[in-house]
Every structure is written in C-alpha cells, then in structure tokens.
C-alpha cells in the first residue's frame, strides 16, 4: 500500500526511526515502531480506516485552514491518508442530519481520536454556542467520553485564547480544564498556536496512532515535550545579533535590512516555547521571524490558568511590556513610570516655590565654623582651621569663629 503511494521501505524505516526519537525512544526502536504501524494502521486499511472526529468550538477555523493546506509529501502525510475524518464542521462533504448521524455512529463504536478546535464556552449553560440544536459543551462531553485521546488544537482550545481574554463575556475556557471539571479523564494533548502549526498536529496524530497516547512525552502543560521543550529564541536565526546587542528599533531601518534581532520591537521569542524556527511554516519555507515579524508568542497558553494566555500576556504586540490589569482597567508599565516621574517633578517645583516664599532661599544659612566633633576632640581633629578667636555668642554655644575667613 505504501509503495503504491511512492514510499519505499527504506523511507518508511527512516520515518519510523525519526518518530521513535521524537517519542523519546532510541532510534534502535524503529523496527518496533514499524511493526506497530503495520499492525495498527496498515492492517486497518481494508475498508476500516482509523476514525477521527474534528469538532469546532468557539473558533475562527484558522487551525483547520492551516492543516488543510499541508502539502508535505512525506511518510507522515501518507500515514494520515489512512485516517477517516468521519466528522468535521468545516471539511465534511455531508451536512445536517446525515453528518450528525455519522458522528453518533463513530462515538458509539468508540476507539477514535477527537480533535477539538476553539474555546469551550460555558456561559448561559453552554448556550453561548449551539450546534445542531444542542449546547456546544454537550458535543465536547459526548465525544470526549469514548475517545482514545483528545487533541486540543490551537491556543483557544488549550486555555480559551482570544475568547478568554478580558472581559471573557462568554465564559470561555480550555478543553483540559473543562473535561477535568466534568470528571472526564480521557487523555488530552495540547497543541497551542494561533493557528497551530500543521506539522505539529501531523506529528502528534501519527505518534498517537502508532504508539498510543500514553507513550507521548508531555510537559506540565500536557504539550508534546519534543515540540515545546525549547523557546523560539533558542533556535532563532537572529540569536547571534541578540548576543551582540544588535537590535532593530524601527521598521524600515538599516538595522532591519541587516536582519538584526527584533527583541526591541516586542519579540516574545525568549518567553515562548515552540520549535517554530526548526519546523517553520508553509512546508518549511519560512516562519514569522524570518519574514521580518517579531514573535507574538501565540504558542504560550497555560491550560491551568485561563488568564495566563498569550493574548493577556503579550498584548500590545509591538511593545516591549505587557499591559498591567487592575480590575477591568488596563495600563502599560511605562505609562505608570512617566506618571510617577511627572508627579515627582511637579512636587519638587511646588516645594521650590514654597521655600522661596518662606524666605528660606534668601541669604542662605550660616555654616558651622568648626566641626562639633573636632571642637570636643582637638587631639583627634580631622579638619584644619586658621587661628580662631572665641566670641561670646560662639563660646556660649561651644563653638568658635574663624578669624580671617
């Protein structure tokens, strides 16, 4: 079957070796991976492709568009041809009752993968989003219950993304947090991004199908560790300029032409975990920073805290600092600094006028002619003084008056 699609045995084994390494195994495990592929996928090819449900939550379908335009002609793509997309709000040819029936039958049969795109909206008992006459949350709960694994695709699905940003009128949250609240324990794999990189999804789907969800190495945010274990900055082609202190401060400048680091323009690469600089986009032709745009940190999505999402943390994008939030009031740190500096300057001006009006700035004040400590300890005196003559007033005060000064 693979040879009929132009895949040689050697290419197939190379793919299995790479997949073994990505899954945290030794490349020597390639034969076992190949055996798992042949038994779990190729063995299903006769009229029984592996079923996948793709459900849309509160989304712009950007992740669907991203994945649908994947052109990478490698073995992973061929493996994905062995999948059966039984349900998709965007890509399915069917519609209405027939499409909903296909989903019901897939759920009843079990052993399928669920890809959920977009935020989960809870406000008004889930009726903020209704599909086929039922609340959107109902479709997620129903499909997640019997799934082999759930892939939360895109930052909106991971922790609400744009939807959960203040003021979050629809009560948006992420898939993992919602399923945990409902007591549904199906494994959730988070693949953030806005949109998610199609290469990331392809890698996750093939690994889950071949090795199972329990063999996939995940980090504390349930993201594939091999994909999101390093920052964008770690693999950035402009990193050398960062180390040399060479930055772009203005678009259209000579520094931009020379490809200097975009950190000063608000690049979030050092705080964003993803291998974007390695995998890139558009079939590995380019990626955001290479195209001249600062990283806006769209892969940063904390599934444990909906307020710690990339929109809240990183906006405004073309600025070095994030907004500070006090209730519903948003303000930039540099504006606070300017305000405090202005208030201090105004206070000093007012203080100066007050001193002038009180006459404390006229004529100055008398200085002590001799240090008190020196006068009390003449044998240990620090200062040097001319011959002095005591005056009655100074004598009464225990001081002396310099003569000739």
Question: What does the DSSP assignment read for 118-139?
Answer: SBEE-TTTTTTSEETTEEHHHH
Is the residue at 131 inside a domain? yes
Is the residue at 254 inside a domain? yes
Residue 21 to residue 28: CA distance in whole angstroms:
9
Does residue 70 share a domain with residue 207? yes
Show which of 277, 303, 334 is a domain's final residue: 334
Which residue in the block uniquely carries the two structure tokens 């929109």? 311
Rg (CA), the chain: 34
Residue 192 to residue 314: CA distance in whole angstroms:
15
Does residue 242 share a domain with residue 181? no
Residue 397 to residue 368: CA distance in whole angstroms:
11
Where on the phi/psi map is residue 124: left (φ > 0), alpha (ψ -120 to 50), or beta? left
Is the residue at 311 inside a domain? yes
Do 245 and 292 meet the contact criterion of CB atoms below 8 Å apart?
A: no
Q: What confidence tens digit (pLDDT) does each residue in 353-401 have?
A: 887 777 766 655 566 777 888 888 888 887 777 755 454 445 555 554 4
Does residue 152 have a pLDDT over 90? yes
Does residue 159 share a domain with residue 14? no
Number of domains in the chain: 3
Alpha carbon 319 to its chain's center: 16
Q: Taking the chain, what is the end-to-end CA distance rounded to the nearest angstrom?
A: 108
Q: Indicate the burial class of 64 (C-beta count within 10 angstroms; 0-12, 13-18, 19 or more).
A: buried
Does residue 247 share a domain with residue 299? yes
Does residue 269 have a pLDDT over 80? yes
Show which of 275, 309, 334 is a domain's final residue: 334
Does residue 145 share a domain with residue 200? yes
Bridge partners (DSSP) of residue 117 are: 56, 153
216 versus 303: which is more confidently predicted?
A: 303
Which residue in the block uniquely carries the two structure tokens 């909206």? 121
Does residue 102 share a domain with residue 75? yes
Is the residue at 395 inside a domain? no
Give percent of the chain with pLDDT exceeding 70: 78
Which pTM was predicted? Answer: 0.72
Does residue 106 share a domain with residue 38? no
85: three-class secondary structure by DSSP: strand
Is the residue at 399 inside a domain? no
Residue 12 to residue 130: CA distance in whole angstroms:
43
Report the CATH number that the domain containing residue 188 is assigned in CATH: 3.40.50.700
* DSSP per-residue codes, 159-193: H-HHHHSTT-TT-EE-HHHHHHHTT----EEEE--
Residue 390 to residue 203: CA distance in whole angstroms:
94
Residue 269 to residue 90: CA distance in whole angstroms:
32
Does residue 56 share a domain with residue 37? no
Report the CATH number that the domain containing residue 264 is assigned in CATH: 4.10.480.10
Is the residue at 394 inside a domain? no
Does residue 185 share a domain with residue 40? no
What does the DSSP 8-state code read for residue 243? H
User: Beta strand pairing status for 172-173 and 50-56?
Assistant: unpaired
Give percent of the chain with pLDDT exceeding 90: 40
User: What average pLDDT does the chain have?
Assistant: 81
Show which of 46, 63, 83 is a domain's final residue: 46
Does residue 207 share a domain with residue 112? yes
Does residue 199 share a domain with residue 65? yes
Do 40 and 74 meet the contact criterion of CB atoms below 8 Å apart?
A: no
Is the residue at 346 inside a domain? no
Does residue 201 share a domain with residue 313? no
Res. 403 pLDDT band, cuts 50 70 90: very low
Residue 111 to residue 107: CA distance in whole angstroms:
8
Is the residue at 316 inside a domain? yes
The parent domain of residue 278 ranges over: 238-334
Q: What confidence tens digit (pLDDT) does each residue in 13-64 have?
A: 777 776 665 555 566 777 776 776 665 554 443 445 678 899 999 999 999 8
Residue-level pLDDT at 398? 52
């Amino acid at each position: 079957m693979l040879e009929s699609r132009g895949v040689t045995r050697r290419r197939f084994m190379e793919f299995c070796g790479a997949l073994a390494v990505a899954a945290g195994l030794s490349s020597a495990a390639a034969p076992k991976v190949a055996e798992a592929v042949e038994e779990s996928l190729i063995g299903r090819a006769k009229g029984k492709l592996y079923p996948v449900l793709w459900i849309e939550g509160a989304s712009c379908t950007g992740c669907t568009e991203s994945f649908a335009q994947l052109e990478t002609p490698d073995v992973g793509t061929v493996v994905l041809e062995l999948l059966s997309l039984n349900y998709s709000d965007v890509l399915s040819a069917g519609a209405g009752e027939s499409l909903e029936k296909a989903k019901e039958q897939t759920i009843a049969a079990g052993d399928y993968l669920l890809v959920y795109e977009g935020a989960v909206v809870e406000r008004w008992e889930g009726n903020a989003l209704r599909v086929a006459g039922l609340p959107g949350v109902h479709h997620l709960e129903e499909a997640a219950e019997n799934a082999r694994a759930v892939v939360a695709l895109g930052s909106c699905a991971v922790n609400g993304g744009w939807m959960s940003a203040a003021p979050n009128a629809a009560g948006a949250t992420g898939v993992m947090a919602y399923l945990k609240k409902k007591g549904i324990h199906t494994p959730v794999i988070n693949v953030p991004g806005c949109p998610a990189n199609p290469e990331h999804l392809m890698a996750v789907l093939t690994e889950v199908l071949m090795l199972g969800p329990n063999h996939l190495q995940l980090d504390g945010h349930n993201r594939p560790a091999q994909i999101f274990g390093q920052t964008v900055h770690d693999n950035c082609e402009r990193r050398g300029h960062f180390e040399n202190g060479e930055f772009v401060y203005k678009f259209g400048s000579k520094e931009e032409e020379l490809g200097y680091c975009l950190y000063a323009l608000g690049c979030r690469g050092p705080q964003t975990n993803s291998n974007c600089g390695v995998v890139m986009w558009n079939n590995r032709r380019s990626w955001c920073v290479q195209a001249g745009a600062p990283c806006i940190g769209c892969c940063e999505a904390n599934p444990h805290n909906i307020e710690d999402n990339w929109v809240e943390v990183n906006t405004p994008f073309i600025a070095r600092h994030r907004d500070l939030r006090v209730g519903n009031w948003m303000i930039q740190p540099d504006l606070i600094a300017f305000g405090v500096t202005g208030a201090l300057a105004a206070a000093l001006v007012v203080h100066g006028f007050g001193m002038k009006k009180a006459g404390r700035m006229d004529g100055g004040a008398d200085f002590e002619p001799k240090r008190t400590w020196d006068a009390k300890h003449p044998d240990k005196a620090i200062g040097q003084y001319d011959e002095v003559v005591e005056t009655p007033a100074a004598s009464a005060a225990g001081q002396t008056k310099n003569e000739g000064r």
